[in-house]
Amino acid sequence: MVDFLDIKCQTKTEAFEFGLIDPGGEAPAKLIFDQLNDGIALVQNHRQKVVVFTAIDKCIYIAREDKTQVSRCDGMLTAGRAIVFVELKEKKADWIKQASKQVASTIEQFRASHNLMDDYDHRHAYLCNNRAKKRGLDVSHLEMQRRFLSEYGVVLRIDRVIEL
């Protein structure tokens, strides 16, 4: 069983807005409160709820039976009965499919350890990228989002701005 609620990987905030970055190397994703345009994702917490960010990639060890690491997303946000899985990318092209696989893998591991459906009423996954060209979702993305919701019970969004 994987402890996705490991306090050493968590940061709490009630900030109105904050950013998420992946500093690279062996450092896990983290919150930023200044220079929000430098963040990969922008989180809007206009109700100023207590939000817990849990760094997953590079902080929570998730291994297969052969001891190799499972692909996982950068982190998750929880606020009351809401959960948001987050993958952060800084690529200009060909990033959505890989990012969705990382989030899906994390959701599968989370479900094996925690009660996703009963514990959280609002379940989202965000694929965030501050470098991708801005464009509307094409039909393939809409279909991918429908399949994701059907398979995982989680609403998939492709957007840099996360609204809580």
Whether the CB-CB separation of 23 and 30 falls below 8 Å is answered with yes
Residue 115 lies in a domain: yes
Q: How many domains does the chain have?
A: 1
Domain carrying residue 65: 7-163
- pTM (2 decimals)? 0.93
Residue 2 lies in a domain: no
pLDDT on residue 33: 97
* Average pLDDT of the chain, as a whole number: 92
Residue 94 lies in a domain: yes
Nearest-CA neighbor of 96 among 53, 61, 131?
131
What is the tens place of the pLDDT at every residue in 95-136? 999 999 999 999 999 999 898 888 999 999 999 998 765 555
What is the tens place of the pLDDT at every residue in 34-92? 999 889 999 999 999 999 999 999 999 988 888 888 899 999 999 999 999 999 999 88
Residue 1 lies in a domain: no
Give me 114's structure tokens.
């925690």
Whether the CB-CB separation of 162 and 41 falls below 8 Å is answered with yes
Q: Is the dihedral of CA 78, 114, 58, 73 positive or negative?
A: negative
Give me 107's structure tokens.
């959701």
CA atoms of 44 and 56, how far apart (whole Å): 21
pLDDT on residue 59: 95
Residue 126 lies in a domain: yes
pLDDT on residue 134: 57
CA atoms of 155 and 85, how far apart (whole Å): 10
pLDDT greater than 70 at residue 144: yes
